């Protein structure tokens, strides 16, 4: 009977051992599933982070493009510098400064001051041309003869502007 009990115990132990093995296998399967879930979550988190970085990159590119487009829209259309009345262009705003040494608004203010102090147009030359001739002579240092050629006036007429 003792043998039978031993066998029963052995069988029980074996039976228990098989239960332990099945429990161990279940634990291993659960731990493998948990490990797989952790890997999937980590991979998903990595994908989300990469998508977030890509979205930030796209936003940066879009904002930069918008700034460049806005800057291009705000730029004025370039004006030709070397023009004449024959081309239909009035002239570049910086050209008066290069030729007379003052900007347009300063030139117009000087004309107003001259008129306020009773300077008037001569019989052949308006006050604006007299002032332009004087400023041009000051900036360039050319002779009366050369200034007359530039303004298409005689030397006598030019000398009266001084």
pTM: 0.47
Q: Which of 92, 160, 104 is nearest to 130 (CA)?
A: 160
Q: Is 114 domain-assigned?
A: yes
Q: Is residue 52 located within the same domain as residue 96?
A: no
Q: Is residue 43 located within the same domain as residue 107?
A: no
106 burial (CB, 10 Å; 0-12 / 13-18 / 19+) is middle
Q: Is 12 domain-assigned?
A: yes
Residue after which a domain boundary falls, among 75, 95, 117: 75
> From first to last of its 162 residues, what are the pLDDT tens digits of the chain?
444 544 444 444 444 545 556 666 777 777 888 888 888 888 888 888 888 777 787 777 777 777 777 666 666 666 666 666 566 566 667 777 778 888 888 889 899 898 888 888 888 888 888 888 888 888 888 888 888 888 888 888 888 777
Note down the domain range covering 66: 1-75
Question: Could you tell me if 145 and 157 are in contact, meaning their C-beta atoms sit under 8 angstroms apart?
Answer: no
3-state secondary structure the chain: CHHHHHHHHHHHHHHHHHHHHHHHHHHHHHHHHHHHHHHHHHHHHHHHHHHHHHHHHHHHHHHHHHHHHHHHHHCCCCCCCCCCHHHCCCCCCCHHHHHHCCCHHHHHHHHHHHHHCCCCCCCCCCHHHHHHHHHHHHHHCCCHHHHHHHHCCCHHHHHHCC
Q: Is residue 109 located within the same domain as residue 51?
A: no
Domain count along the chain: 2
Q: Is 80 domain-assigned?
A: no
């Amino acid at each position: 009977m003792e043998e039978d009990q031993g066998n029963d115990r052995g069988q029980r132990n074996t039976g228990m051992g098989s239960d332990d093995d099945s429990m161990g296998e279940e634990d291993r399967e659960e731990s493998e599933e948990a490990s797989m879930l952790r890997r999937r979550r980590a991979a998903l988190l990595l994908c989300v982070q990469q998508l977030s970085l890509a979205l930030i990159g796209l936003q940066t590119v879009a904002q930069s493009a918008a700034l460049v487009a806005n800057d291009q829209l705000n730029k004025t259309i370039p004006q030709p510098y070397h023009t004449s009345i024959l081309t239909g262009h009035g002239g570049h705003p910086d050209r008066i400064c290069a030729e007379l040494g003052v900007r347009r608004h300063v030139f117009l203010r000087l004309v107003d001051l001259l008129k306020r102090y009773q300077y008037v147009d001569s019989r052949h030359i308006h006050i604006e041309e007299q002032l332009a001739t004087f400023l041009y002579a000051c900036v360039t240092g050319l002779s009366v003869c050369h200034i007359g050629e530039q303004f298409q006036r005689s030397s006598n007429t030019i000398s009266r502007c001084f």
